[in-house]
Amino acid sequence: MAIRKVTILEFLELSLLHPVLDVRSPGEYNHAHIPCAISLPLFNDEERKVVGTTYKQTSREAAIKIGLDYFGPKMRMMVEKVEEIILKSQTLSTENLQLTTKKTVLVHCWRGGMRSGAVAWLLDMYGFDVVLLVGGYKSFRNWVLKQFEIDYNFQLIGGYTGSGKTIVLQELKKQNQTVLDLEEIAQHKGSAFGGLDNKQQPSTEMFENLLSIELYILTQKNRQQLIWTEDESQRIGQVNLHPVLWQQLRNKPLLFIDIPFEERLNYLVKEYGEYDKGQLIKAIERIQKRLGGLETKTAINALQENDTKYCFEVLLKYYDKHYLKGLHNRSNFKEIVQKIELTNVAASNAEHLLTITNNHKNA
């Protein structure tokens, strides 16, 4: 049985059917990986460091010998681990009525070099059908960055903080519209309070990996598919949108949901008012430099005096000013931004947006 080598597009297609084994070190994997990949490290982080240092300071041959010392005792464990992975994937396939009896695994390392070659050799020798990614994870990253250069048919939903843009996106998805939820991928709601759920955010590189795969899936059948997404800052919590994609988003049509201040304030109080007071204060302190010393003190004092509504009122005025500035900073603001006046925060606002886009289509 021969090891089959494939390029990234075929590798991604096969990854929908078979397990992907990432044989890089745990540190490399934890920083970022192909979203569906399972970690099966040939070397741990310290072993990788020793092999790499030997390769640079002594010789390739010396590094390989040290690598073999590490690899030898792990061979049986790696084979048995892959057997477990295969068995689990076959069980899942059975549940989805897509039973496959082939023991196929996809393998990659950083550049498609010695690490993936060694593991592929072992698994092939044991009897697995092995597919190797040419160029390794590096080729995947090149593919990721190219996805951000594609001109997508985005339709942005904008609006001041508390306008319920996420609720609208969720309703659009229920109505079988194509939706890209950037905050869901980033595991953060965007504002200072966006991290109160304590979800662990991916690294920016991992965020890009997840985002590129999502875009690929959404547009696989139709490159001109209309994609609804929220008008976001370039930074979502601790992750950043890639500059090329960010610039593209800044130039796409934007439907601005204009909802009265009081309605949005009441929504935010209901959404965040029950969170722990200490968490809320820390969130306010994180934006202290931008908010200003006086407003920060005023907001925190209001919170400590249990006047949550006034605290949020101070913050909302800041966010409104900040968002309006970003909105007008678009060079073609008048051409791409359409304001829609609505009365309250509700999922039903999605109907208004659909009506407008359908009217544009038929015009």
For 258-267, how does the pLDDT look when each residue is reduced to its tens digit (9 = 90+)? 999 999 999 9
| In a shared domain, residues 53 and 81 | yes
Tell me what pLDDT residue 108 has.
97
Residues 96, 211 within the same domain: no
Residues 227, 191: one domain? Answer: yes
CATH assignment at residue 11: 3.40.250.10
Which positions are catalytic?
109
Give the chain's radius of gyration (CA, Å).
25
What's residue 362's pLDDT?
64
pLDDT higher at 41 or 91 = 41
Residues 6+ apart with CB under 8 A from 7: 133, 134, 135, 139
In which band, very low, low, confident or very high, does the pLDDT at 271 lie, cut at 50, 70 and 90? confident
310 and 281 both lie in a single domain: yes
With contact defined as beta carbons under 8 Å apart, do 28 and 39 qualify? Answer: no
Residues 106, 19 contacting (CB under 8 angstroms): yes
List the structure tokens of 5: 């080598």
The CA distance from 316 to 284, in Å, is 12
How far is C-alpha 21 from the geometric centre of its chain's CA atoms? 20
Mean pLDDT, range 317-346, rounded to an integer: 87
Give me the DSSP letters along 130-173: EEEETTHHHHHHHHHHHHTTS--EEEEEEESTTS-HHHHHHHHH
3-state secondary structure (DSSP) of residue 180: strand
- pLDDT for residue 97 is more than 70: no
Reading the block at residue 21, the tokens are 């084994």
Tens-digit pLDDT profile for residues 180-226:
999 999 998 877 777 777 788 999 999 999 999 999 999 987 888 89
Dihedral (CA of 45, 49, 50, 51) sign: positive
As for how many domains the chain has, the answer is: 2
- Whether the CB-CB separation of 208 and 147 falls below 8 Å is answered with no
Q: Give 119-150 pLDDT, tens digit per residue.
A: 999 999 999 999 999 999 999 999 999 999 99
| CA 339 distance to own-chain centroid | 29
Q: Are residues 10 and 156 in the same domain?
A: no
Q: What is the CATH number of the domain that holds 276?
A: 3.40.50
Last residue of one domain, picked from the residues 98, 115, 144: 144
Residue 146 CB contacts under 8 Å (≥ 6 apart), including other chains: none
Strand locations in the chain (E): 4-6, 20-22, 38-39, 104-108, 129-133, 153-159, 179-180, 226-230, 235-236, 239-240, 254-258, 337-341
Indicate whether 59 and 201 sit together in one domain: no
CB atoms within 10 A of CB 122: 20
Q: Which of 55-59, 176-180, 234-238 has the weakest average pLDDT?
A: 234-238
Q: Give residue 324's domain range.
A: 151-362
Alpha-carbon distances, residue 119 vs 43, 63, 114, 225 (angstroms):
11, 16, 9, 40
Q: What pTM was computed for the model?
A: 0.91
- On the 0-12 / 13-18 / 19+ scale of CB atoms within 10 A, 357 is middle
Among 111, 144, 177, the domain-final residue is 144
Instruction: Give the model's pLDDT for residue 227.
Output: 97
Same domain as 328, residue 286 = yes
pLDDT tens, position by position, 58-76: 999 999 999 999 999 999 9
Cα separation of 82 and 103, whole Å?
A: 9
The reply to whether 139 and 155 lie within a common domain is no
Do 178 and 38 share a structural domain? no
How many C-beta neighbours within 10 Å does residue 247 have? 12
Same domain as 348, residue 238: yes
pLDDT over 70 at 345, yes or no: yes
Same structural domain, 182 and 201: yes
Give the end of a domain, one of 112, 144, 176: 144
b or e along 188-207 (b: 16 or more beta carbons within 10 Å of the residue's beta carbon)? bbbbbbbbbeeeebbebebb
In a shared domain, residues 168 and 206 = yes
Average pLDDT score, the chain: 91
Look at residue 287 and give its three-state secondary structure: coil
Q: How would DSSP label each residue in 227-270?
A: EEEE---SEETTEE--HHHHHHHHTS-EEEEE--HHHHHHHHHH
Q: Phi then psi for 257, rounded to 5 degrees?
A: -80, 115
